[in-house]
Amino acid sequence: MGAQNSLIEAAQQALENSIIYYQGEPVGTVAASDPEVEALNYDQCFVRDFVSSALVFLMNGKPEIVRNFLTQTLTLQVCEKKMDCFTPGQGLMPASFKVESKDGEEYLKADFGEQAIARVTPIDSSLWWLILLRAYVKATGDIALAYQPEFQKGIHLILELCLTARFDMFPTLLVPDGSCMIDRRMGIYGYPLDIQALFYGALRSAQELLLPNPSNATYIESVNTRLSHLIYHIQKYYWLDLERLNEIYRYKSEEFGETAVNKFNLYPTSIPEWLYEWLPDTGGYLAGNLGPAWMDFRFFAVGNLMAILTSLANQQQSQAIMNLIEQRWTDLVGHMPMKICFPAVEGRDWQTITGCDPKNIPWSYHNGGNWPVLLWMLAAAAQKTGRGELIHKALEIAENRLLKDQWAEYYDGKSGRLVGKEARKFQTWTIAGFLVAKDLTANPDRLALISFEEDSSAIACTL
């Protein structure tokens, strides 16, 4: 017990040390504080990274830093609409920000991807921002903050960014490769599950946060309509279990018209051989991506775990996802919870899909690496589905390694035995993810901050 307390105290102290201050007030946490490696942009506060830190602060009764973060990032949101290909889209939240000084005055400098490696635009920042605003309101009861005119406008801009101008006719969100936590080329362009799960959670958040008045009526109607279409689309077309695999295996292709069964023209020969034996009888998961004549059969952790938490996956599907994790524990968790995607792409596929990215070699980084930050999502999903034994099993693994490995960013190898070759130490979301998981085991009621009940008003629709 004493060792566990020491571990928690060390994590809490490391999290405190990561806090960024702006004009004397805490506004976020740096991505990492590795003293042995060049900072690059790890000295900035990333929106997606801060979510796990924010949950710790909310659970510890320190909401001020979360309120400051939400307020300051709102001032950085793109509010002007410009016909300029180099200007971020209206409503977009920055990937990250840092505090800089000029002539003795502090200011926040935002990065919308124009400084990032490969110049990747962050789609998930705006979605995480909405989910975090809802978590703040849940923790504090401070709905007045969300009802402030500038916050309502911020919600409007995000919804307009996601719901209006587009080239496609699917309820899912069309995004480029590298637009989320997997921020390097990994073949997730199109309609990646990770973004769809966050998109659904953001829409559910907006549904709760929009002030119910006539000026919001159009936004509320648009949100409700998209939610019902999105949940039907994901649950029906992205779902993979043995029954569904048999259906795809026997698909006829080149079907035309309203009666088509194979609506996306999937070719049965595209099913990878590893899947036939890997998919257990009682397990299932949501596929990584779906588009014309293409299904990405890889398992992606963020999308599946967030689908459970947001109730994008129904109760039966949620249990099947947890069955899969339990029965394929060595593949998906191994020596550090948990693997960001499975399996890794190798050989010629790795060359083609990643562009020969040396950081995304097979079983490393985004290409099948193990990420400790996912511990909190795994713990929350296990808590929601009544699979508490999986939380304790995962925490035991993490407790034996995280402090010893100095809170590494990610792990390499098929089972995550090696600290990542280029992993930062003292990675803040690794620290925070561990603390959130520990808190959820001791205080299950705090699951409400990040969890959504099934939407009884969602109406099944035909596409």
Entry pTM: 0.96
Question: How do the domains of the chain map onto residue ranges?
Answer: 2-449
Q: Poorest-confidence range of 110-124, 135-149, 345-359?
A: 110-124
Q: What percent of the chain has pLDDT over 70?
A: 98
pLDDT band at 323 (very low <50, low <70, confident <90, very high): very high
pLDDT of 462 reads 36
Indicate whether 400 pLDDT > 90.
yes
pLDDT over 70 at 459, yes or no: no
pLDDT digits (tens, 9 = 90+) for 53-65: 999 999 999 999 9
Nearest CA among 307, 308, 306, 289 for reference residue 298:
289
Contact between residue 78 and residue 156 where contact means Cβ atoms under 8 Å apart:
no
**Residue 458: predicted pLDDT:** 62
pLDDT (0 to 100) of residue 8: 95
Could you give the CA distance from residue 124 to residue 441 in angstroms, rounded to a whole number? 27
pLDDT exceeds cutoff 50 at 461: no
pLDDT at residue 436, as a whole number: 98
Per-residue pLDDT, 457: 66
| Mean pLDDT to the nearest integer, 6-11 | 94
pLDDT of residue 4: 78
Name the β-bridge partners of 98: 109
Compute the average pLDDT of residues 100-122: 89
pLDDT of residue 117: 77
Give the β-pairing of 239-241 and 105-111. Answer: unpaired
Q: Which two tokens stand for residue 164?
A: 């209006």
CATH code for the part of the protein at 2-449 = 1.50.10.10
Determine the pLDDT at residue 119.
Answer: 83
pLDDT at 149 over 90: yes
Pick from 149-158, 160-169, 380-389: least confident: 160-169
pLDDT at 3 over 80: no
Distances (CA, A) of 130 to 47, 50, 406: 11, 13, 31
Concatenate the DSSP letters of all residues of 344-370 into one string. ---HHHHHHHHSS-STT-TTBTTBT-B
Residue 1's pLDDT is 67
Kindly tell me if the per-residue pLDDT of 463 is higher than 50: no
Structure tokens at 436: 């959130």
Mean pLDDT over each residue of the chain, to the nearest integer = 95
CB 325, CB 308: distance < 8 Å: no
Q: Say if residue 338 is preceded by a cis peptide, omega within 30 of 0.
A: yes
Q: What is the mean pLDDT of residues 417-437?
A: 97
Mean pLDDT of 231-249: 97
Read off the pLDDT of each residue in 332-355 and give the average, rounded to a whole number: 97
- Bridge-partner residues for 97, per DSSP? 45, 110
Q: Other C-beta atoms within 10 Å of 39: how many?
A: 15
